[in-house]
Chains A and B, each alone.
Chain A
Amino acid sequence: MKKLLIALVALTIACGSEKKNEEQAFMEELNNTEENSGPTVSEAVIGDILQQIPSPLEIAVLLKESGKKYNASLLNSPDNLPKYNSNYKKALNLGIYGADLGYTNIYEQNQDGIKYISTIKSLADGLNIGQFFDIETIGRLATNSKNLDSLLLITTQNFNAINHYLQTQNRANLSVLLLTGGWIEAVHIMCSVAAQDPNNKVLQEKIGEQKVILENIMLLLPFYKEKDQNMATLLEDMQELKKIFDRVNITYTYKESTFEVVNGVMVIKDNSTTTIDITPQDVMDIRNTTLNIRNKIIS
């Protein structure tokens, strides 16, 4: 169709009597055709922002690497599944359970992990995206801790595929909820661990730098506030959280990086820095507000 349009445009130019420069006119028409057949600006913007949001897995790895013990009580119980009847709740809790699954996987808690896999499959089926969740393979991998790498890989791929599919099906609102849910759960887990270790500056900084991700989420939610009352309410709740994060200062200093090639890999030495100013009171307020939002989502 696009080729036909281009051909028609070319024919018009070739046969027309306008004095306008032909090549210029051709390029203008071509550009107009491209714009009309492409995605609307908002859809493209939403997709760009969504892809930036990091995986909650990074937080789980941080906690494990820093020696924090596994704590199943921090997670949303799979028993809560029957509470989630609307697509809104299903999508948010799919994100939450996805983050929980990542946490159980990283800590190699296979028995808990299997429960989350089953819960996630049910929610995904309820949203008609169950086809992207290969429960058979994941379940098999989860029974043996030697399969951890494969398990992490396939679950990440499945969630990536779900997000991609939702965006291509004009259901990016669900993708926004899924990623928001995952982020809230990761922040909740991190804040809960930080509360038990109040002098841990690294954890406090990690909480503070979540400001960057929240700013992304706050760009997305307003797209849906007019059409979806649930998302408007979530936006209001998240605005309360943003007010607290606004007290956190992140100072970035750029300095040119250096590099060396080691075994065919270019290893960069990053000489830029960020400093994160966050107080224990900020951490406590972030924790409480996140907990309130999460409680609304999981109840």
Chain B
Amino acid sequence: MKRIAIFVWTLVVLSAPDATAQCNSEALSNQCIPKLASGFNFLKSYKIDGEGGAKDKVEYSYVFTKGTQYMINICAPNQPTDGIVVTLYDSNRNKVATSKVNGQYISAIAYPCNATGIYYIQYTFDGSSTYCGGSALGFKR
């Protein structure tokens, strides 16, 4: 009985619409670029594709340098962030910043870096309906 259930479940999953195909994370990341605050120079755009919930996080990394201020923002199809949270970790995986505070989802983080090193930019999905978004990274001195 269990085997049949697995087989039926697999068929249902395979016949369902492909959630990943609906995520245009590239367009969303491009939308995020002009939303960087004034004075910030664009550095990178990041695609956030949770593949319809198959992925619980999407991670990138970048070398941040002391004395430079960075901005990371989030764009999502429906609401401002659609439950997408960006969390910044240092090279030792200490949490440096997160965009979720007191249950509120903030769509941009400004990070004046005081310690040069590799930082991990991790996007997670907290009650997201689309698991899809984009992000841009900018800098200013």
- Chain A residues within CB distance 8 Å of chain B: 3, 6-7, 10-11, 13-15, 22-23, 26, 48, 51-55, 57-58, 61-62, 65, 149, 152-153, 156-157, 160, 202, 205-206, 209, 212-213, 216, 250, 252-254, 257, 259, 261, 264-274, 276
| Complex Cα–Cα for A62 and B65 (A) | 11
Partner of B117 from the list A11, A205, A252, A261 (CB cut-off 8 Å) is A252
Residues of A within 8 A of B71 (CB): 265
List B residues 37-72 near A (Cβ within 8 Å): 37, 41-45, 60-68, 71
Please name the residue on chain A nearest to B61 by beta carbon.
A52
With contacts A48-B61, A216-B63 known, is A272 near B114, CB below 8 A? yes
Residues of B within 8 A of A58 (CB): 65, 68, 139
| Complex Cα–Cα for A110 and B90 (A) | 38
| Complex Cα–Cα for A265 and B6 (A) | 46
| Complex Cα–Cα for A265 and B91 (A) | 24
Residues of B within 8 A of A213 (CB): 63
For this complex, 12 residue pairs linking A to B, each with C-beta atoms less than 8 Å apart, are: A11-B7, A14-B6, A51-B44, A58-B68, A206-B67, A216-B63, A250-B116, A257-B96, A265-B106, A266-B101, A268-B112, A270-B114
Q: Do B63 and A212 touch across chains, with their CB atoms under 8 A apart?
A: yes
Min CB–CB distance B134 → chain A (angstroms): 14
With contacts A57-B41, A212-B116 known, is A52 near B109, CB below 8 A? no
Can you name 7 extra interface pairs (CB under 8 A) apart from A14-B6, A62-B67, A265-B109? Answer: A23-B2, A26-B6, A54-B65, A153-B33, A209-B66, A252-B92, A266-B110
Partner of B111 from the list A53, A156, A254, A268 (CB cut-off 8 Å) is A268
| Complex Cα–Cα for A14 and B4 (A) | 6
* Interface presence of B22 (CB below 8 A): no
| Complex Cα–Cα for A259 and B104 (A) | 14
Q: Do A266 and B97 touch across chains, with their CB atoms under 8 A apart?
A: yes
Which 7 pairs show the lowest CB-CB distances between chains A and B?
A10-B10, A270-B114, A14-B7, A272-B115, A14-B3, A209-B116, A274-B115
Q: Do B7 and A10 touch across chains, with their CB atoms under 8 A apart?
A: yes
Partner of B42 from the list A153, A259, A271, A276 (CB cut-off 8 Å) is A153
* Interface presence of B25 (CB below 8 A): no
List B residues 108-133 near A (Cβ within 8 Å): 108-118
Q: Do B61 and A61 touch across chains, with their CB atoms under 8 A apart?
A: no
| Complex Cα–Cα for A3 and B2 (A) | 21
Partner of A268 from the list B61, B62, B65, B97 (CB cut-off 8 Å) is B97
Residues of A within 8 A of B63 (CB): 52-54, 212-213, 216
Residues of A within 8 A of B111 (CB): 268, 270
Q: Do A65 and B33 touch across chains, with their CB atoms under 8 A apart?
A: no
Min CB–CB distance B42 → chain A (angstroms): 5
* Interface presence of B135 (CB below 8 A): no
Residues of B within 8 A of A202 (CB): 67
In the complex, per-residue mask of B78-103: 1 if CB is within 8 Å of any chain A CB, else 0: 00000000001011101011010100
| Complex Cα–Cα for A17 and B11 (A) | 21
Residues of A within 8 A of B2 (CB): 22-23
